Amino acid sequence: MQRVIISKDLQAELTAAIADCEHDRIFVLTDTTTIEKCWPVIKDFPSLEGATTITIGATDVAKTLDSISHVWECLQKGGATRHSLMINLGGGMITDLGGFAASTFKRGINFINIPTTLLSMVDASVGGKTGINFGGLKNEIGVFNDSKYVILCTEFLKTLDDANLRSGYAEMLKHGLISTPQHWQELIAFDITNPDLAVLQRMVADSVAVKERVVEEDPHEHGIRKALNLGHTMGHAFESWAMRRNKPVLHGYAVAYGIIPELYLAVKKTNFPVEVMRQAVTYIKEVYGMLPITCDDYPELIELMTHDKKNTAGIINFTLLGGIGDIRINQTAAMKEIEEAMDFFREGL
Ligand code: GLY
């Protein structure tokens, strides 16, 4: 079980977390961005004296077997033992890949996640999913294994660009929809385009608590953890569609786009309130703009959804809602309904 700490004093919390993890050596995994922007924030902490940094390429393109092999090699050459500790300092790519490297090196060493992007704070760094991309498929190889600690320090968001902030916020919107009307209302009243970081820190804490509750109930995604897939069936198809056109969109943008047609399906099939769907559509269109799909793209998008690894027996699996927090997993839809939902996405309210 991992401990999630909402940071007030990063030095004190990290020092205590390190002390709690029996270790001989410390390795800090960074990417080419976080070694410059985030490592300087912690590198002079006395508890990190003598720590070895390992740096890999930034962004999802570096989430590869080559990168992980490089990490294992650095651990080996740096004298890591079964009692060494790894600290993953970065976004979701670093916490996923670093978590996998740590979980497999000498059959597993302890690791601590310090997520530095909003997306990794509210999603990737919590819940024990680790892994890498392989054979052209995202997160194809990996294991479930919790970090000992996740330390969430919104100070790091000060250097995060606007698009990545919006991207992370989409997962928070999702957490709002699967939790309570109060949490949802607070999220859509917040201006993520001009964020007050103190308020955001409190909302991040609430958001992560939603994920923690779900993961605690179903750590290996046999049932209710599928609630976290809201917006992702359509969202992953949009993400792959954009990638194939060499116009990639950030993951959270794709999720935000995916929430629109999936809420349309929820209104049609599980009585989700129309007015909440309208609020969501208005907020998403204002913050994330639009993805320029046409009806000629529907067959490809449906083919992408059909091959999503969340499905069983090739039947497209949706997580829908009967209301805010009223989660309906394992829903299906007819082709005509999916096409209608995509029409709605294109044409709006
Ligand atoms: N990102 C969804 C999950 O952790 O299950």
Q: For residue 246, give both structure tokens.
A: 């060499």
115, 170, 179, 271 from 230: Cα distances, Å: 22, 11, 12, 16
Backbone torsion region of residue 117, taken as left when φ is above 0, otherwise alpha when ψ lies between -120 and 50, otherwise beta: beta
How many other CB atoms are there within 10 angstroms of residue 15's CB atom?
A: 15
DSSP string, 61-86: GG-SHHHHHHHHHHHHHTT--TT-EE
For residue 267, give its domain range: 163-347
**42 and 60 co-located in one domain:** yes
Same domain for 198 and 237, yes or no, is: yes
Same domain, 46 and 177: no
- Which atom of ligand 1 is the closest one to the Cα of 123? 1
Look at residues 328, 312, 218 and name the one whose alpha carbon lies nearest to residue 270.
328
What pLDDT, on a 0 to 100 scale, did the predictor assign at position 55?
Answer: 98
Pair (187, 311) in one structural domain: yes
pLDDT of residue 349: 60
Whose structure tokens read 């949706």? Answer: 318
Give the pLDDT score at 309: 78
Give the residue from 96, 130, 160 where a domain finishes. 160
Atom of ligand 1 nearest to the CA of 228: 2
Residues 180 and 68 in one domain: no
Ligand 1 atom with the shortest distance to the CA of 126: 4
Give the total number of structural domains in the chain: 2
Single-letter residue type at 211: K
Q: What token pair was written down for 6?
A: 């909402």
CA of 229 to the centre of ligand 1 (A): 7
Ligand 1 geometric centre to CA of 91 (Å): 15
Ligand 1: which residue has its CA nearest to atom 2?
228
Instruction: Tell me the CA–centroid distance for residue 239 and ligand 1, in Å.
Output: 16
164 CA to middle of ligand 1, Å? 18
The domain that contains 268 carries what CATH number? 1.20.1090.10
Which atom of ligand 1 approaches the CA of 171 most closely? 1
The CATH number covering residue 63 comes to 3.40.50.1970
- Domain check: are 148 and 253 in the same one? no
Q: Which two tokens stand for residue 222?
A: 């046999």
Domain boundary among 160, 187, 202: 160
Query: Shortest CA distance to 234 belongs to which of 338, 109, 154, 133?
Result: 338
Q: Which atom of ligand 1 is nearest to the CA of 127?
A: 4
Tell whether 65 and 212 lie within a shared domain. no
| pLDDT the model gives residue 313 | 82
Q: Please state the pTM of the whole predicted model.
A: 0.95
Same domain, 130 and 188: no
Element (H, E) at 6: strand 3-6
143 CA to middle of ligand 1, Å?
A: 13
Same domain membership, residue 187 and residue 329? yes
- Of 131, 160, 189, the one marking the end of a domain is 160
Which atom of ligand 1 lies nearest, measured to the CA of 229? 2
Centre of ligand 1 to C-alpha 228, Å, is: 6
Instruction: Give the pLDDT score at 147.
Output: 98
Which residue's alpha carbon is at the smallest distance from atom 5 of ligand 1?
Answer: 228
133 and 168 share a domain? no
pLDDT in tens, the chain (349 residues): 799 999 999 999 999 999 999 999 999 999 999 999 999 999 999 999 999 999 999 999 999 999 999 999 999 999 999 999 999 999 999 999 999 999 999 999 999 999 999 999 999 999 999 999 998 888 899 999 999 999 999 999 998 999 999 999 999 999 999 999 999 999 999 999 999 988 999 999 999 999 999 999 999 999 999 999 999 999 999 999 998 999 999 999 999 999 999 999 999 999 999 999 999 999 999 999 999 999 999 999 999 999 887 888 889 999 999 999 999 999 999 999 999 999 999 997 6
Pair 197, 118 in one domain: no
46 Cα to the center of ligand 1, angstroms: 34
Exposure pattern of 111-142 as b/e (b: 16+ CB <10 Å)? Answer: bbbbbbbbbbbbbbbbbbbbbbbeeeebbeeb
- 325 contacts: CB under 8 Å, gap ≥ 6: 177, 178, 179, 180, 181
Residue nearest to atom 1 of ligand 1 (CA): 123
DSSP one-letter code for 325: T
Query: Considering only CA atoms, which residue is closest to atom 3 of ligand 1?
Result: 228
Ligand 1: residues within 6 Å at CB? 123, 127, 129, 225, 228
Nearest ligand 1 atom to the CA of 129 is 4
92 & 181 share domain: no
CA 76 to centroid of ligand 1, rounded, Å: 30
- In the reported structure, the alpha carbon of residue 124 is separated from the centroid of ligand 1 by a whole-number distance in angstroms of 7
